[in-house]
Amino acid sequence: MRLKGKLIKWNNEKAFGFIVPNGGGDQVFIHKTGFSNRKRTPQINDVITFSIGKDKQGRYCANDATYAGEKLKVKQAKGINRFSIYLSVVFLASMALALTMGDLPKNIVFIYLGMSLITFIAYALDKSKAKRGAWRTPESTLHALALVGGWPGAAIAQQLLRHKSQKKDFRFVFWLTVIINCCGLAWLISPNGLSFMFVFQ
């Protein structure tokens, strides 16, 4: 529900103030991040339309606030990146096919399948922690799981769970781990790599 009120206090240094709703009621706290238009400096007596939400500490505050005459710009959530899902499914299916044809050691296939499942679960648990405000799984751990073979599960989890799918720095490192892992796999199934594995069997 959208409410309307007037800004009666504003601290420009700390970027917060208070709104008095039309019709009376308690003053509503608002931080500058609660405005849709953050380029404009709020002024006393500005007429503001807003929604009531909660901050990270669970306190009520105004958000999605717009000034009189402005329209609320609704952010469109980005859709699922099907390329990541298709790439992961095709990769795992190709490994399974290579296994049935005897072109790939079963241990490698089982490692990728197992690590993908473990990594998917790790992403799901981390998203659950994020929603509850609990202690998060380090990004380095998620990248390490992807690097050792869990990247197909990570790629699927990022899209289906909508977790870690928008952070550019994280995505860059993630795809770097994919490239490194695939290069390692290419060497591992080469004659030199197969000879190396045979020594340790």
CATH of the domain at 10: 2.40.50.140
Same domain, 25 and 112: no
> Looking at 34, 67, 100, which one is the last position of a domain?
67
Look at residue 131 in the predicted model and tell me its pLDDT: 77
Q: Domain count of the chain?
A: 2
Q: Decide: helix, strand or coil at residue 92.
A: helix
Domain assignment present for 120: yes
**72: in domain:** no
pLDDT value at position 124? 95
What pLDDT sits at residue 79?
A: 65
Q: What 3-state class would DSSP assign to 84? A: helix
Residues 160 and 186 in one domain: yes
Q: Domain ends where: 21, 38, 67?
A: 67
152: in domain: yes
Residue 121 placed within a domain: yes
Tell me: do 158 and 89 sit in the same domain.
Answer: yes
Q: Of 67, 101, 118, which residue is a domain's last?
A: 67
Residue 76 lies in a domain: no
pLDDT at 200: 44
The pLDDT value recorded for residue 176 is: 97
At 3 the pLDDT is 92
Cα 120 to chain centroid, rounded: 13
78 Cβ contact list (under 8 Å, min separation 6): 165, 166
Same domain, 94 and 178: yes
Does one domain contain both 194 and 140?
yes
Ordered mean pLDDT values, 10 residues apiece, the chain (201 residues): 92 94 90 91 94 84 91 64 92 93 88 96 91 85 97 95 87 96 90 61 50
Contact 138, 126 (CB under 8 A): no
Residues 189 and 91 in one domain: yes
Please check whether residue 70 is in contact with residue 78, taking contact to mean a CB–CB distance below 8 angstroms: no
pLDDT of residue 154: 96
pLDDT value at position 74?
59
Closest CA to 164 of 149, 181, 142, 141: 142
- Please give the residue range of the domain that contains residue 146: 82-199
> Can you give the pLDDT at residue 13?
92
* C-beta separation of 119 from 146 below 8 A: yes
**115 and 182 together in one domain:** yes
In a domain, 74, yes or no: no
Q: Are residues 57 and 107 in the same domain?
A: no
In this structure, the answer to whether residues 86 and 48 fall within a common structural domain is: no
